[in-house]
Amino acid sequence: MIPSERRVASRRARQRTQRRRAAAIGLALVLATAGGVGAAVKLSGGASGGHAASKPAHDARAEGVSATAATSGVSNAPATATVSITVVGDVVMGTTGALPKDGGRTFFDAVDQNLRSGLSLGNLEGTLSTGSGSKCGAGSTNCFAFQMPPSYAVWLRRAGFRIMNLANNHAFDYGERGLRQTEATLTAHGIAFTGPPGRITVLTRHGVRVAFLGFSSYPWANDLTDIPAARRLVAKAAGQADLVVVMLHGGAEGADRTHVPHGTEYFLGENRGNLRAFSHAVIDAGADLVVGSGPHVLRGMEWYHDRLVAYSLGNFAGYKVLSTSGVLGISAILHATLHADGSWAKGRLDASELVDGGFPALDPDRHAYGLVRELSRADFGRRAMSISRSGALDPPAS
């Protein structure tokens, strides 16, 4: 082992010890038991914006997913256990006045088999709600508010989604009422959620506890612009789970925003975060996988301290509401399989695209592979993730 590798291994070992100690001194989870996907949830006091954390998601024991209260510093995960995490970017199944004709029943038919291979996470860009109260004023031509019928949660669940990120700019399109409806709807359909301030959502699969946290730059979400607070919350999650998955929603938007810049990104006057600094900080605090959405395009993938950062997975679905031209219509499904100690087991990308107005479909030409490979090399050099012609993901050679 070369000195740099030895230092990284030593640092990760110290982090694991710190996690167990933190859990042992009382970082207990709030656990709800009812029908639905397993979720043990820690609700802390509000972080930013004054919005109280929402009610915990329901618990269920289906398809090997269950809830667990991490009150002990000793993991019950089998030594050989691995967990597959499947992640996609922005998901919008249409909006009021522009919805699929079949009520969403076949929306994910072309990709659902690709979403069922692990704990599947997506960024829900919009609300599952009814009623008025849009943030957009009457006659507005440069404001976008997305409202999907609550019944569409059925199709999310059937497609394989087990948890959705609500830390984004469209979760509050219909105000507090729309956000609470969305949370309640997901819970009722057995889909956990993450993103509200202070919320840590833990799912257990194959005996491995996986904590999910969502961050964006809005008051109804964990704040990715407050990096010290993000580090503290991730460290707390690391004390409650074997694995920590962070989803960020940030960065500037548009077809010309495929590269990850150094420094803070701004869009329409908003601070959308310093994504490099944020991602590195949360990994240093104990995150095992960081995945992004927000720019509406694919971005490169970085191997940082033996952990993967996928800076943006682009648009996954955006029926009649998201542009699908050029790189905006190129997407990917990320599969990352991790050992219970957070180390990398294997991974791959499934190349996808948006078709027929924004439906998700597999891309037979696999444009995502070349695009992400090129962006990764350009932005991260020797830390670029390796992507084969078949989509296999491998860490760079040390």
Position 13 scores a pLDDT of: 52
Which residue's entry shows tokens 């309640």?
Answer: 184
In order of 1, 235, 238, 261, 324, the CA distances from 57 in angstroms are 43, 21, 19, 36, 33
Query: Which of these ranges, 135-139, 173-177, 332-336, has the smallest mean pLDDT?
Result: 135-139
- Quote the tokens at residue 5: 């590798």
pLDDT of residue 12: 55
Q: How many CB atoms lie within 10 A of CB 394?
A: 14
Q: Which residues contact 139 (CB under 8 A, 6 or more apart)?
A: none
Identify the pLDDT of residue 140.
73
Beta strand spans in 38-126 (E): 40-43, 65-66, 82-92, 119-124
- C-alpha 90/C-alpha 391 separation (Å) is 20
Largest CA distance in the chain: 63
Asked whether 192 and 213 are in contact (CB, 8 A), the reply is: no
Distance CA 240, CA 53 (A): 18
Q: In this structure, which amino acid lies at residue 372?
A: V
Q: How far apart are CA 82 and CA 65, in angstroms?
A: 13
The per-residue pLDDT for range 125-155, each reduced to its tens digit, is 999 999 989 998 777 777 899 999 999 999 9
Strand partners, 245: 212, 289
Dihedrals φ, ψ of 197, to 5°?
A: -55, 130
360-387 per-residue burial string, b: 16 or more CB within 10 A, e: under 16: bbbbeebbbbebbbebbbebbeebbbeb
Comparing C-alpha atoms, which of 203, 216, 291 is closest to residue 246?
291
> Across all residues in the chain, what is the average pLDDT?
85
User: For residue 23, what pLDDT is reported?
Assistant: 39
Domains of the chain with bracketed CATH: 3-134+144-394 (3.60.21.10)
Query: Which residue type, as a one-letter code, is found at position 248?
Result: L
**Cα separations (Å) of 42 from 68, 106, 245, 354?**
12, 35, 15, 36
Which pTM does this prediction carry?
0.85
DSSP-derived pairing of the beta strands 222-223 and 208-216:
parallel
* Per-residue pLDDT at 20: 43
